[in-house]
Amino acid sequence: MTFKPAISPEHGSMVITREGLIGQAVGVPKPEGLIPVIPKYVPCRGESPWVKSGLSLCRVLQDYGPRGIGETLKALGFAETLDGLYNSPMPYVREIDTVSVVTPREALERVLRGPLSPLSYEVLKVLSTLRSFKVKLENLGLTGSIALSFENPKISDVDLVAYGFETAELLYGAFLSLRVKPLISSKLGGLKVSPELDVSWRRADIRGVHVTWVGVPLEGELCKPLKEYFKVRGPVMEARVTVSIEGGQESSLLYPPCASSLEGVHVVSFEYNVAAVLYEGGVFSVYGLVDREGSTVYIATRQLPGSILRLKGDV
- Per-residue pLDDT, averaged over 134-153, amounts to 94
Q: What is the pTM of this model?
A: 0.93
Rounded to whole angstroms, the Cα distance separating 310 from 5 reads 31
Question: pLDDT at position 226, please?
Answer: 93
Domain boundaries, the chain: 14-101, 104-216, 233-312
- Per-residue pLDDT, averaged over 227-253, amounts to 95
Give the CATH architecture of domain 233-312. Beta Barrel (2.40)
- 184-to-102, 201, 216, 273, 291 alpha-carbon distances in Å: 32, 11, 23, 11, 31
Cα-flanking dihedrals φ and ψ of residue 220, to 5°? 95, -5
Rounded to whole angstroms, the Cα distance separating 268 from 255 reads 9
pLDDT in tens, 41-77: 999 988 899 998 888 999 888 777 677 787 888 888 8
Which residues are CB-neighbours of 263 under 8 A, at least 6 positions away? 241, 242, 243, 244
Question: pLDDT at position 23, please?
Answer: 95
pLDDT in tens, 86-133: 999 999 999 999 999 999 999 999 999 987 788 999 999 999 999 999
Q: Quote the percentage of the chain above a pLDDT of 90.
A: 78
- Per-residue pLDDT, averaged over 201-222, amounts to 95
Rounded to whole angstroms, the Cα distance separating 192 from 190 reads 6
In CATH terms, 104-216 corresponds, of 3.40.30, 3.30.70, 3.30.460, 3.90.550, to: 3.30.460
Question: pLDDT at position 2, please?
Answer: 56
pLDDT in tens, 21-30: 999 999 999 9
Question: pLDDT at position 69, please?
Answer: 80
- In a 13 Å sphere around the CA of 290, the CA atoms on its Cβ side amount to 14
- Per-residue pLDDT, averaged over 178-196, amounts to 88
Greatest CA separation for the chain: 56
